[in-house]
Structure 1
Amino acid sequence: MDDNINETKNIENNVIENNNDQCNNTDSNNNNNEIYNTENNLQNNIEIIKEDKKINDDIKNENISHSIELNKQCGSEINNNISDHIPESSDISNNNLIDTNNINYNNVGVQITFENLSYKVINLKYKKQLKIKKKYEEQINKLKRDNKQIDLEKMESNEYSNQATRGGDVIEKELTILSNVSGVIEKGEMTALFGPSGSGKSTLLDILAKRKSTGSITGKLLVNGKELGDAYKKYCSYVTQEEILLETSTVEETLKLHADLRLPGMSDNDKWKRVYQVLQDIGLTKKAKSKIGGVLPGGMVLKGLSGGEKKRVSIGCALVTNPSLLLLDEPTSGLDSTSALVVMKVLQNLTQKGVTVIFNLFTKIMVVLKGRMFYIGGDVLGYLASLGYKCPNHENPADFCLDSCIEIANSSDFTTIVDNWDNYYKNEVAPTICNNDVNKEVDKGVSMLYQYKVLQHRSLRYFLRNKIGFASRVVIGLLVGLLFSACFGGLKNTQEDISKETGALFFLMASLSLLPYACISTFLSTRTLFNSERASKIYKTLPFFLSSMFIEIFVGIVVSAIVVIIVYTISNFRWNFVSFILTYFGFLFIHLFSVFMVIAVSNITGTVDLTFTYSTGLSIIYLLFAGFFVPVNQLPKSFGWLHYINPLHYGFSSLMIAQFKDREIECPTPVPNDPSSICLYPNGNLVLKQFSLQDYTYGETLGILIVWTFFYYCLAYFAIHYFNKEKR
């Protein structure tokens, strides 16, 4: 497993050693890292240098020639290592896993065109200005209603007036993030989306991936010159910047899940073929059985893949659907140079199979400035040179482009330059838009029952492999039961032990209602995974929720059984089968109610701190008014109504009824002048009357508790569905 984790580092070490052997005759001032950096810079930029020969003739000076020669001498080892790392088709074919000749990406070669894309969002400053103006007008109207003379000079100095009426502070209702952006992406191109921070790059990428959930979008997004609506999604796949994967799943299991949920019309055998084809393309055939790895909820670290390998798994999940267009958000972010180069080589190989990729190692570049399309094409250095910005010798072209674009964006000629580009696009590029037929049918997708089956299988697998998570909850249950028994062991059916028994029931109820707090991090970790997968629309909310809750219900059944069995065995509660079953179901639904409440709160708040704060507040209120400290009939009238909406009140009532209903209690032998010999509770019904529970039945209290549990179960679902959306 250690070899799996350190594979990328081993490649980098081998590269450096080989460079040392082959390049020992170079200048003594150049160390191994400089040689390695020279290789990386030239590998990424040599194509740009070749394209700019006509414009930048002076680039071919002696120093650059020497660097290129050095690249030829020292670079072969890097490419050889990477080629070894990315297996050829024969690697899988020889194992008779699939016939690689029968599966091709991009079954329909398409051209992606976007015309006059604009994106606007509500200006929060405008809303604030409206609120200030409203307060100012209310102040004026109040003075008029009171028939008071309005002191205009005083009103002009008022803070509301100043902010609401100043002519220079007029704020637009909407902010324009993108304005009339147009472009064409041909089949099999690698296109970089380039621009300074805040220029609208991420916004354009989200719109091209149809993942924008806020703001208003106008313009056209065409496939082969046709608008497809929802059918566009089957031609496009999106890879997020973060690798959000289930840590306990293997690589092939992760890809198979995406195949199951996103390829409804394909047989299981063909899905496996697609999985292994993707494994070949991303260079992870030897890691098919390796777990993803990472930090599990609770802090335990599971060994698995390296960062670059996880990135390739994320790319593989997107490739399962055989997309024509692959969009990636910073695919090399957080990776070392070798891992980044391996990832980009994988993407470069995909373009040779017809997949259009938007990002680096590119054949085309899109530059966005201030929400406008500044340039799209393959010779950005030439275009900048035509505007008077010539790239100096030896300067990194990417840095030069970025600096030049920032300077142009802040210049007075910016509007003229982008308007000229728009005119060029409309007159020269737009007439070349492809008009081939495309499939406009929207895939129906798999049924919700099948989604539940696949997700339930994954949840069970995660549960079985995350042994620490389940074991910790079982151990806590054991400790609660044993410590409880140490304090309340050997209870007797006597007058003296009645108060102990009622206190023991309340303590157990409080313990089981607080146990789910230990799993807040687990609930929130599944929230992140769900957000990522739902954004890709591979399943609905309900199947995911049901599959997750099935595991929680199972754990609740086990933990409650452990606690009740230990307590009944050692503490000597009312020992008959009916009382045992009734008590068990009371504790079970108390525990499940608390689980669903914490899940609902965690999905509404979204953070551990807020979840703990709000859930603790609710639990304190519920425990305080449960009826143990102060009986219901003795509560102040202003707060007496709280017990009606208190699930723990009905839970405590059901436990008390299960233990004391129609139960005979031993009385001491009467002794004159001895208050302790008085028999206050000859039967359990009097105990129930003491707690104002004489009018309840077990069925009523447990039934109401079940209703409250189901209410929080539904609330947890709505919290996941409505409060848990990715906003982009």
Structure 2
Amino acid sequence: MLHRNSSIVAAEDIEAGNMKPKFQDEPTLPIFLKFREVTYKVSIKKLTILSGISGSVNPGEVLALMGPSGSGKTTLLSLLGGRVSQSSIGGSVTYNDKPYSKLLKSKIGFVTQDDVLFPHLTVKETLTYAARLCLPKTLTRQQKEQRALDVMQELGLERCQDTMIGGAFVRGVSGGERKRVSIGNEIIINPSLLFLDEPTSGLDSTTALKTIQMLHDIAKAGKTVITTIHQPSSRLFHGFDKLILLGRGNLLYFGKSSEAMDYFSSIGCSPLIAMNPAEFLLDLANGNINDISVPSELEDRVQNGNSGRESLTEKSFPVQEYLVEAYEKKKLLDPVPLDEEAKGKVLRGKRGASWWEQYCILFSRGFKERRHEYFSWLPFTQVLSTAVVLGLLWWRSDIRTPRGLQDQAGLVFFIAVFWGFFPVFTAIFAFPQERAMLNKERAADMYKLSAYFMARTTSDLPLDFILPTLFLLVVYFMTDLRVSPYPFFLTFLTVFLCILAAQGLGLAIGAILMDIKKASTLASVIVMTFMLAGGFFVSKVPVFISWVRYISFNYHTYKLLLKVQYRGVATSINGVRIDNGLTEVVALVVMIFGYRLLAYLSLRRMKIGT
């Protein structure tokens, strides 16, 4: 259990020599969170999601946001955590009596409902990379790694530290351990505010109780903890310090969770049978008054209001209207006055890793996450088997006759097509698969988008060198292509340029659409068009569509390979004049950088949280 956060060391303990900090770190800055008459509307649909929500939570407390599905509790959590555009918020939300600012990002931890983690990284690797990315530059790498070990110890993760996180197709840690890793990822920066969305979702009752107890221990270390909860057990319910009950975006109760039942009894609502308090409150919020004693005024409203109403949602209106009115008349807790000492605290942003350090960390993390792909037998089998088939079909091809030269030109075209097709359909998965992680980490301001983009697009380069090298070693010598070091090197360079251009197209399509099915469909159409316009099937393309071949990397790669292989052998092949190939090289380089620039700009335009 988290009896005391290792990063929070009292000054008197240090002076007395009872405790030595493992590295110098600021104690948790106490943040008092207050919100008054908060409203939130979706401008497109003109729909009110939250209406007049007020409350407060102090350091050392755990506030639970409870309500039925669709009541607005996740929206309120995101709003308080700074994950919603401030321009669309009505009312006021203050942190130590100051509005939200970017400096707060380094003081906020936000645990999403779904555990967004890399499945092939171990627990230790996951927390270590988070520490290296987020902790201040003033700390050494060893101190950051020690912080990760401390958090693992605090959360009871030592036993599974070398176990992969796991996912849908990868066996890994348990659900409770996965949730603790997600929490560890956030508390590693020693946040003042910790937000959690449904942290007990999918956990058994015992694990859920341990998770909530852990949140209390985190709060005792001086942090302010806010969590959504759907339908807690009675033991969980009594474990919260404060409670907000929402119904269709309206505030039905804010106060101490221990006083919730007394409050609803005071307005005439009480269970007729023994019930879990949370179940009772959710029934009321849903407008379900079966097995609940209600005042005669509410009974009359329900009977009169339900006449002619058919849907369950409409039938719940009278109950919710009564509860909202009752709370307005009898508010239990107003936001408490701010502690003067905390009011004087100034937020200072902590600068994490530099751009180069971010790039190196993200490159290393990406390489480790995808190492199972790099060393999988599937891509090697696919490439080598294709190379062997080509070698057998074009075995010892002879270019001394026009027919033989034409046949070998077909092989050259297939090489251009294969290394234009294969990388596109590998690259389109890159950004859509990591969309949730990118959203989460960008919202936390963990790194610059440019550092992530460069790391993500270069961490695949090792495999990009290995596979074409193996492919060419097999095909080149089985088919009697031009055997000498210079043509072989130029052939490899041409194929590599084609791979980078095709990868860029795949990255751009994936970044623009951010949907694997849509991206695959669009990529199929584009690649097929590029292949048909590649200069082998149709030599004379109609003028109105001839522009397609000039943006086709297959076309430029095919022409360049012909020039590499047959320079000095023929003056032209299939209408391609054999010259130095500078035009084709320039075209491929422009595509390499142009497609990647398009992908980067598409990621920049992507709204966080979408």
Cα distance in 2 for partners of 1:640, 1:528 equals 40
Cα distance in 2 for partners of 1:388, 1:230 equals 45
Equivalent AA in structure 2 for residue 268 of structure 1: R
Verify: 1:583 aligned to 2:491, yes or no: yes
Give the 3-state SS of the residue equivalent to 1:429 in structure 2: coil
Verify: 1:112 aligned to 2:17, yes or no: no
Structure 1 residues 551 and 413 mapped into 2: Cα distance closer, same or farther (>3 Å)?
Answer: closer
Q: CA deviation at 1:122?
A: 1.8
Out of 399, 411, 419, which is 1:504 matched to?
411
Verify: 1:565 aligned to 2:443, yes or no: no
Given that 1:527 and 1:603 are in contact with CA atoms closer than 8 Å, whether structure 2 keeps it comes out as no
TM-score normalised over the length of structure 2: 0.84
Aligned to 1:275: 148
Aligned to 1:722: 605
Structure 2 counterparts to residues 84-103 of structure 1, below 5 A: 86=1, 102=21
Given that 2:430 and 2:507 are in contact with CA atoms closer than 8 Å, whether structure 1 keeps it comes out as no
Aligned to 2:280: 400
Structure 2 counterparts to residues 318-333 of structure 1, below 5 A: 318-333=186-201
Equivalent AA in structure 2 for residue 223 of structure 1: Y
Matched pairs, number:
555
Cα distance in 2 for partners of 1:90, 1:550 equals 38
Structure 1 residues 371 and 248 mapped into 2: Cα distance closer, same or farther (>3 Å)?
Answer: same
Aligned to 1:642: 548
Verify: 1:594 aligned to 2:502, yes or no: yes
Structure 1 residues 251 and 501 mapped into 2: Cα distance closer, same or farther (>3 Å)?
Answer: same
Q: CA deviation at 1:606?
A: 2.3
Cα distance in 1 for partners of 2:58, 2:50 equals 22
Q: CA deviation at 1:106?
A: 5.9
Structure 1 residues 356 and 502 mapped into 2: Cα distance closer, same or farther (>3 Å)?
Answer: same
Out of 385, 389, 398, which is 2:265 matched to?
385
Given that 2:501 and 2:595 are in contact with CA atoms closer than 8 Å, whether structure 1 keeps it comes out as yes
Out of 682, 685, 689, which is 2:571 matched to?
685
Structure 2 counterparts to residues 161-176 of structure 1, below 5 A: 174-176=46-48
Structure 2 counterparts to residues 290-301 of structure 1, below 5 A: 290-295=163-168, 299=169, 301=170
Q: How big is the alpha-carbon RMSD for the aligned residues of Structure 1 and Structure 2?
A: 2.8
Aligned to 2:206: 338
Equivalent AA in structure 2 for residue 601 of structure 1: I
Q: CA deviation at 1:438?
A: 1.9
Out of 102, 119, 127, which is 1:247 matched to?
119
Out of 429, 432, 435, which is 2:337 matched to?
432
Structure 1 residues 639 and 223 mapped into 2: Cα distance closer, same or farther (>3 Å)?
Answer: closer
Verify: 1:454 aligned to 2:361, yes or no: yes
Give the 3-state SS of the residue equivalent to 2:345 in structure 1: coil
Cα distance in 2 for partners of 1:381, 1:186 equals 22
Given that 2:367 and 2:460 are in contact with CA atoms closer than 8 Å, whether structure 1 keeps it comes out as no
Out of 409, 421, 427, which is 1:514 matched to?
421
Q: Percent identity?
A: 28
Equivalent AA in structure 2 for residue 380 of structure 1: A
Given that 1:89 and 1:100 are in contact with CA atoms closer than 8 Å, whether structure 2 keeps it comes out as no
Given that 2:383 and 2:471 are in contact with CA atoms closer than 8 Å, whether structure 1 keeps it comes out as yes
Verify: 1:553 aligned to 2:461, yes or no: yes
Aligned to 1:491: 397
Cα distance in 2 for partners of 1:231, 1:333 equals 31
Given that 1:119 and 1:178 are in contact with CA atoms closer than 8 Å, whether structure 2 keeps it comes out as yes
Given that 1:255 and 1:316 are in contact with CA atoms closer than 8 Å, whether structure 2 keeps it comes out as yes
Q: CA deviation at 1:413?
A: 7.4
Say which one has the larger Rg. Answer: 1
Q: CA deviation at 1:385?
A: 0.8
Q: CA deviation at 1:349?
A: 2.1
Cα distance in 2 for partners of 1:249, 1:533 equals 16
Equivalent AA in structure 1 for residue 438 of structure 2: F
Cα distance in 2 for partners of 1:438, 1:388 equals 44
Give the 3-state SS of the residue equivalent to 1:394 in structure 2: coil
Equivalent AA in structure 1 for residue 551 of structure 2: I
Structure 1 residues 175 and 520 mapped into 2: Cα distance closer, same or farther (>3 Å)?
Answer: same
Q: CA deviation at 1:233?
A: 2.4
Given that 1:105 and 1:324 are in contact with CA atoms closer than 8 Å, whether structure 2 keeps it comes out as no
Structure 1 residues 227 and 600 mapped into 2: Cα distance closer, same or farther (>3 Å)?
Answer: same
State the Cα deviation string for residues 288-340 of structure 1 (Å, max 9, x = none).
23322234xxx5x3x32111100000000111111222111111112223322
Out of 219, 227, 232, which is 2:91 matched to?
219
Query: Tell me, which stretches of 5 or more residues in structure 1 are unaligned?
Result: 1-85, 92-98, 125-173, 664-683
Given that 1:477 and 1:559 are in contact with CA atoms closer than 8 Å, whether structure 2 keeps it comes out as yes
Equivalent AA in structure 1 for residue 76 of structure 2: L
Q: CA deviation at 1:414?
A: 5.0
State the Cα deviation string for residues 209-229 of structure 1 (Å, max 9, x = none).
111259711332222223352
Equivalent AA in structure 1 for residue 527 of structure 2: S
TM-score normalised over the length of structure 1: 0.71
Q: CA deviation at 1:201?
A: 0.8
Structure 1 residues 493 and 430 mapped into 2: Cα distance closer, same or farther (>3 Å)?
Answer: closer
Q: CA deviation at 1:715?
A: 2.0
Aligned to 1:480: 386
Cα distance in 1 for partners of 2:140, 2:166 equals 29
Aligned to 1:5: none
Given that 1:586 and 1:651 are in contact with CA atoms closer than 8 Å, whether structure 2 keeps it comes out as yes
State the Cα deviation string for residues 548-592 of structure 1 (Å, max 9, x = none).
211223322222212122111111012222221221111111122
Given that 1:105 and 1:353 are in contact with CA atoms closer than 8 Å, whether structure 2 keeps it comes out as no
Aligned to 2:103: 231
Given that 2:358 and 2:451 are in contact with CA atoms closer than 8 Å, whether structure 1 keeps it comes out as yes
Equivalent AA in structure 2 for residue 480 of structure 1: T
Cα distance in 2 for partners of 1:494, 1:695 equals 17
Equivalent AA in structure 1 for residue 243 of structure 2: I
Structure 2 counterparts to residues 618-637 of structure 1, below 5 A: 618-631=526-539, 634-637=540-543
Query: Tell me, which stretches of 5 or more residues in structure 2 are unaligned?
Result: 7-17, 228-235, 288-297, 299-314
Structure 1 residues 522 and 384 mapped into 2: Cα distance closer, same or farther (>3 Å)?
Answer: same
Structure 1 residues 90 and 515 mapped into 2: Cα distance closer, same or farther (>3 Å)?
Answer: closer
Verify: 1:367 aligned to 2:245, yes or no: yes
Equivalent AA in structure 1 for residue 194 of structure 2: L
Structure 1 residues 584 and 272 mapped into 2: Cα distance closer, same or farther (>3 Å)?
Answer: closer
Cα distance in 2 for partners of 1:107, 1:523 equals 35
Given that 2:562 and 2:578 are in contact with CA atoms closer than 8 Å, whether structure 1 keeps it comes out as no
Given that 1:527 and 1:724 are in contact with CA atoms closer than 8 Å, whether structure 2 keeps it comes out as no
Equivalent AA in structure 1 for residue 605 of structure 2: Y
Equivalent AA in structure 2 for residue 387 of structure 1: I
Cα distance in 2 for partners of 1:280, 1:543 equals 31
Give the 3-state SS of the residue equivalent to 1:442 in structure 2: coil
Q: CA deviation at 1:267?
A: 3.1
